[in-house]
Amino acid sequence: MNGRFRISKEALYFKFPTLLADICIQLAVLWGIMYGTDMIREGNMLIYEKSGTIVLLVLSTVLSAFILGIHLNERNRSAVIVAGQAFLNAGLTWALFNGLMAIIYELTLQGKALALQLASVAILTAALHLIIRGLIGLIRKKGANHHTVIMVGMDENMLAIYDFMTQKRYNDKGFSVLGFFADREEGIPQGSQLLGKVEDAFAYIEAQPLGSLKEVFCSLNPATDSETVNRLVSLCENRLSRFTFVPDMKGYPKRTLHFSRIGNVSVIALHDEPLNDPLASLVKRISDILLSGLFLCTLYPFIWLFCAIGIKLSSPGPVYFRQKRTGYEGKEFYCLKFRSMHQSTDADTKQAVKGDCRVFPFGEFLRKTSIDELPQFINVFKGDMSIIGPRPHMLHHTDIYSELIGDYMVRHYAKPGITGWAQVNGSRGETKEVSEMKKRVDLDIWYIENWSIGLDISIFFMTIWQLLKGGGEKAY
């Protein structure tokens, strides 16, 4: 399912109504700026009141939805991804509309009005999509919009999939497991049904109305049951039922594995990061350059002056604290921060702790508000870092934790960031236990394997929200 529109129940019940609601939000925000503020000059109002302006806004919204899709009812898509996708849809619509207005009418919103339009439509669109997603979940919990599946074969993996699909807290995913086909009765989970032996699955699938059985999960070993597996694959394709093979991967790390082919041989890769795509990497780099460059040329000089005065009055030494950290693919770089501590010999080995005597009062304010991290926009502009990504660690910590945590170095498959998925999920600051660092590493790896522009936008707004709330308990 690619999220684009087609004549189907999915489009009719979910995507088309959402598109109409998105259009209403866009129109309401524009009219609010036109008639509820004095941000548009009187001479330009006549152009914005033209029917052509409404057509351009509607067209921009539809184009954005066609290009990016509207993702609401995918069964394994998290709320964060849905919100990020909504931010992205709103942002593309905003760019298309104002671009078309500039080309056709040689006119566009200015300054505060542009910012207000973008912020308003982004927040309202994300809220709307999350509400609709919640309603879809309620509908599924009531028994509608179910994705019917059967299980062919029986092992630990099939049981784990069954548990995921049938647990109460996953009811909003809408899976309906009709039962198992297995050559033994032992192990069939309570509440499920043994529909017959493996061979009986063929007649059962044939008897279902075309396309009504959505998916068949199969754990049979194709090396020993190749004829049965191939017959099952052929039957599923003819009956419009998706076939999903569940391999026995005992002994392999529990990660998202990626299948590909080298010649005629199927191979499995432990990692296949979205940022390996040159286009995705280019988009992220261009975004980093534009945003960091804009910040450094506008707000940063004033922030630097304020911080420089406060630091110089509080403690002798430089304004910046430069520290070697581990970056992309394990390469070392100097990470910049506004200095928040008195100079000491253990700065490169000792992590800041609560009530740290090295932190001077103005430095405590910088750390609590995360202002001390802002010089890292220079690192972003240079290319050592990205705005969003795993936080860079001291070399000392890299040496220690790479020995204690097996997949620690995987987090360096992406450029380090000023903020990241781990930080907005509470994993920031001091790590007293190895388990705390392990949790942070797991979150970093999840980000690397699931990166998208929408996810980056979500993390950006989640970071701003946390800063407005006070930075969190570990901001010291």
Per-residue pLDDT tens digits for 427-463: 877 777 888 899 999 999 999 988 988 889 889 888 8
Residue 254's pLDDT is what? 66
Residue 7's pLDDT is what? 46
395-405 average pLDDT score: 91
- pLDDT tens digits, 252-267: 766 667 777 888 887 8
Give the residue, 421 or 79, on which the prediction is more confident: 421
pLDDT band at 181 (very low <50, low <70, confident <90, very high): very high
In contact, 89 and 65? CB cutoff 8 Å: yes
Residue 428's pLDDT is what? 78
- pLDDT tens digits, 84-103: 888 888 988 998 888 888 88
- pLDDT tens digits, 267-284: 887 777 888 888 889 989
Around 254, how many Cα atoms within 13 Å sit in the side-chain half-sphere? 3
Q: Which residue has the tokens 């059985």?
A: 213
pLDDT band at 312 (very low <50, low <70, confident <90, very high): very high
73-86 average pLDDT score: 73
Q: Return d(Cα 140, Cα 107) in angstroms, integer.
A: 46
- pLDDT tens digits, 36-56: 887 766 656 666 667 778 888
Residue 393's pLDDT is what? 92
- pLDDT tens digits, 128-146: 888 888 777 777 666 566 7
- pLDDT tens digits, 184-227: 888 888 888 899 999 999 999 999 998 889 899 999 998 888 99
Q: What is the pTM of this model?
A: 0.65
Residue 430's pLDDT is what? 73
CATH code 3.40.50.720 region(s) in the chain: 147-248
**Position 75 pLDDT exceeds 70:** no
Q: Mean pLDDT of all residues in the chain?
A: 84
Among 21-25, 61-65, 239-243, 469-473, the least confident range: 469-473
Residue 194's pLDDT is what? 92
287-303 average pLDDT score: 94
93-119 average pLDDT score: 83
CA dihedral in degrees (114, 115, 118, 122; nearest 10)? -170
Among 67-81, 110-124, 173-187, the least confident range: 67-81
Residue 1's pLDDT is what? 39
CATH architecture of 147-248: 3-Layer(aba) Sandwich (3.40)
Q: Which helix (H) or strand (E) holds 306?
A: helix 300-314
- pLDDT tens digits, 144-164: 667 889 999 998 889 888 888
In contact, 222 and 229? CB cutoff 8 Å: yes
Q: Return d(Cα 165, Cα 169) in angstroms, integer.
A: 9
Q: Which residue has the tokens 């740290």?
A: 356
Give φ, ψ of 463 to 5 degrees.
-65, -45
332-350 average pLDDT score: 86
In contact, 81 and 48? CB cutoff 8 Å: no
